[in-house]
Amino acid sequence: MKSILCFLLVFASVNAVVSQTDFSQENATQLLKVLSVEIGPRPMGSPAEQRALQFAVEKFKEYGCDTSYVMAMPYSTRANTTSGIAIGIKRGATKRSILIGGHIDSAGPEIPGADDDGSGSAVVMEAARVLCQRATQSTLVFCCWGGEEQGLEGSKYFVEHYPELDSVAMMLQIDMANGLGKIDLDPDTHGRSAPQWLVSAAIEEFYNLGYENLSYATHFYSVNYAQEQGAGSDHESFLRKGIPAIDFTTDVTKPIHTPRDNFENFDPRGLKRTGDVIIKLVERFDSGVPSHETEQYWLYVVGKTPIFISFPLLYTFVGVTLVLMIIAFIAIRKRREMPESTNRIKWSGIKMWLFSLIIVACGWFSSDLIGLLRGIRHPWMTAIPLYYLLAAVAMGVGVWFSLRISQKLRLSQCPYVFFKRGMIALLAFLILFGLMNVKLLIEPSVALLFVSLAILFRNPVLKVLFLLLSPWWMLRVVFSEWSPLFFRGAAMALSADIPTWLMFNGGMILFLSLYILPFLYVGAAVVRDTPQLTLFIPRARTIGALSVVVIAFVAFAGYLMTQPVYDTYWHRDLRIEQRYDMNKHKKEISIKSGEYLSDLNITHGGNDTLIDTRATSATITPSNAFDTTWLTVERQEQKHQLNDTTTNYNVELTLRAVTRPYTVTVTYYLGKDKMTSFDTHWKFRNDNGLQTISWYSFPDSILKIPVEFQITGSDSVRESIEVTFATLADPMTVERELTYVIPRTRYAASYVYK
């Protein structure tokens, strides 16, 4: 027995070793430390991004690439920003290429970008070290993209200018490799997806390595890629060119796009996991790929199994649900109340919408109640799933109030009245979702399937089961796999002033009430159609029923009151903006936050100021230390009258800053008409007659901007300049625990050419 056990242990350990690759977590961690700590934040176009690109090129050379260089990107699609792509090439026996990429830029000058996406670039470099030691059939191309955070700029530029793009057979992207939590496959872009063989291989190799937590965000990606520009990554640029490509992204609930995306908060175990998968996929397809075509399908991953639904099969499923809906509609119509009935009750549909508003409002404001008691605007910041549950309990209170009100605002006894309205609403959602993205047909179709079954089955238990299941996938469209990322972003961006608060909260309650209304209609139809459930309603509206729900809410709320709102990962944001109007010689300082400013201590002008208010914004009187000399503006203007109605202007604008600014924007526009012509050697945008020349980020401290334009008639051209620095001209220090500061100084100037 001991011999058998020893054999099994040895076999298991050998198996585990065999399943791993030569990818070194330690080496990748050191690479990441250089990017996120020694180099630091790397916004597109910044000197730090350039240093990072050069660092990657040096590593590609050191690790054995035959060719290593930075492909310069002289401009982006939106700004005059010089960025680039670090490229390393290891020639194989054939010209067929496998490309491995990750973006090297970070989302802002305060954001170290350890997770997003220093980790991806570290994986690319370490994968180069491992793979360059081998002889391969395929040529391997390693890329660290600049400018991903500004709209996939680096990869977009690459696919248009890389001379051997036609040889790329497969592209693997790493956009975050943090920890061993959830990791998402993203094989999609707008209208295209990676071939099924690549998705299946990625899942198979991942689990063969012994790792866990691979998923595919079905609902989020269906919504995200319903539009041309979504929250994607650089693999999209290749998919749009018809090249098989896939992205690996770890947990987006981590504090990406904030200063808390730093090396200290990073879990390096994810580097090894993602690196192993990438190397295994390269080994698997080194001798060739099954096909070079992208595909279209609906994907759902169950455990370790990907389920691919072709669009014809998807349409078939939609058709089946519509047939079931028609059958259910006919069945319920046979049991309808006759039109000539003297007991008919009108306006039941409008009354149900009122109840929907009450139910949604109770759930929506449940977290605000916790926030009010704790003096915190967003108490759910670190525990979003728990606040979903709190909202569900609070909605039970709304249901109770609705049932009580229904004794006065009586509803129709006819199930057909409600089912008809529910079907019409769900059909409207089906059409709307289908117009957005074919893949989104699934969610309303599943809802139609379950509500139809709730009508067709006569067993009360099955009716309730199908009724409860019916809204789940529709709700997943709104509360998707990536929703916490956007909820947190909105929380930090939204102002607390009353108009904004009313508009946002009122808009969300209105939207959600309409969104769940079809299911309330169907719920009413099922109750009216089932005598056993009808008998349950009087019990559900008793004080005893309310007491149970309230006790559950209070107990859960009490627990949440003890949970930390901010922690090592999630801090309160504080944005300080100092502004100097160069025309009016006016100085302003404003402080804004997504959270209340309470307990905020500011040292400024030799004085300490304690802000203790439930406001999200405040103004500070500038001190005499506000340096107004950071920017000077010079103009040389030549004006020529071409004829009685047309005037030509030649302008050379010079902006001189004491240090590199963060962003620069210069706009020209007419008061009434459009300019007949506008030209400059800089890249510019024309937005309905507004000519915009911009730089992001950290351009040279001296910018010469020659501009030529013509106007007709006696109109004038207004020039507007805004130069932003990522530091403060008027020194300030801030003290408050678990708070990060985003400092900005803006210099604004305007001029009129008459």
pLDDT in tens, 376-389: 999 999 999 999 99
**CA proximity to 333, closest of 456, 450, 471:** 456
Q: What is the pLDDT of residue 4?
A: 44
**What's the whole-number mean pLDDT along residues 648-670?**
96
What are the structure tokens assigned to 597, written together? 């400013």
What are the structure tokens assigned to 510, written together? 């209105």
User: Which domain-ending residue is among 292, 309, 326?
Assistant: 309
Statement: residue 440 has pLDDT above 90 = yes
Question: Could you tell me if 616 and 377 are in contact, meaning their C-beta atoms sit under 8 angstroms apart?
Answer: yes
pLDDT in tens, 599-612: 999 999 888 888 88
Same domain, 367 and 291: no
Statement: residue 338 has pLDDT above 90 = no
- The CATH number given to whatever domain includes residue 257 is 3.40.630.10
Statement: residue 1 has pLDDT above 60 = no
Q: What is the pLDDT of residue 407?
A: 92
By CB atoms closer than 10 A (0-12, 13-18, 19+), residue 12 is exposed
**Band (78; pLDDT cuts 50, 70, 90):** confident
Residue 7 lies in a domain: no
Statement: residue 34 has pLDDT above 60 = yes
Q: What is the pLDDT of residue 493?
A: 87
Residue 13 lies in a domain: no
**Band (673; pLDDT cuts 50, 70, 90):** low
- What one-character-per-residue DSSP string does 278-332 give? HHHHHHHTTT--S----B--EEEEETTEEEEE-HHHHHHHHHHHHHHHHHHHHHH
Statement: residue 258 has pLDDT above 90 = yes
Same domain, 666 and 750: yes
User: Which domain-ending residue is among 506, 531, 561?
Assistant: 561
The CA–CA distances, whole Å, from 331 to 28, 206, 272, 335, 452 equal 64, 49, 58, 7, 10
Same domain, 88 and 232: yes
From CA 192, how far away is CA 245, in angstroms rounded? 10
Same domain, 290 and 206: yes
**What's the whole-number mean pLDDT along residues 460-477?**
96
**What element of type H or E holds 543?**
helix 543-561
Same domain, 258 and 403: no
Same domain, 75 and 188: yes
Domains identified in the chain, total number = 3
Q: What is the pLDDT of residue 215?
A: 96
pTM above 0.85, yes or no: yes
Statement: residue 178 has pLDDT above 90 = yes
pLDDT in tens, 535-579: 899 999 999 999 999 999 999 999 999 999 999 999 999 999 999
Q: What is the pLDDT of residue 10?
A: 39
**Band (8; pLDDT cuts 50, 70, 90):** very low
**Band (17; pLDDT cuts 50, 70, 90):** very low
Give yes or no for a cis peptide into 697 (omega within 30° of 0).
yes
Residue 4 lies in a domain: no
**Band (415; pLDDT cuts 50, 70, 90):** very high
Same domain, 263 and 402: no
Same domain, 281 and 402: no
Same domain, 512 and 463: yes
Give the list of residues 6+ apart from residue 62 with CB closer than 8 angstroms, or none: none
The CA–CA distances, whole Å, from 151 to 44, 144, 192 equal 10, 15, 18
Question: Could you tell me if 411 and 347 are in contact, meaning their C-beta atoms sit under 8 angstroms apart?
Answer: no
Residue 2 lies in a domain: no
Same domain, 239 and 274: yes
pLDDT in tens, 718-751: 999 999 999 999 999 999 999 999 999 999 999 9
pLDDT in tens, 518-529: 999 999 999 999
Same domain, 681 and 593: yes
Give the list of residues 6+ apart from residue 368 with CB closer than 8 angstroms, or none: none
Q: What is the pLDDT of residue 339?
A: 65
Q: What is the pLDDT of residue 722?
A: 98
Give yes or no for a cis peptide into 117 (omega within 30° of 0).
yes
The parent domain of residue 402 ranges over 311-561
**What element of type H or E holds 608?**
strand 607-611
3-state secondary structure of 522: helix
From CA 519, how far away is CA 357, in angstroms rounded? 13
Q: pLDDT averaged over the chain?
A: 93
**Band (14; pLDDT cuts 50, 70, 90):** very low
From CA 154, how far away is CA 143, in angstroms rounded? 10
Residue 3 lies in a domain: no
Percent of the chain residues topping a pLDDT of 70: 96
Percent of the chain residues topping a pLDDT of 90: 86
User: Which domain-ending residue is among 539, 561, 583?
Assistant: 561
Same domain, 480 and 628: no
- The conformation of residue 82, written as its DSSP 8-state character, comes to -
Output the CA angle 732-734-736, nearest 5 degrees.
175
Residue 616 lies in a domain: yes
- The CATH number given to whatever domain includes residue 632 is 2.60.40
From CA 680, how far away is CA 705, in angstroms rounded? 7
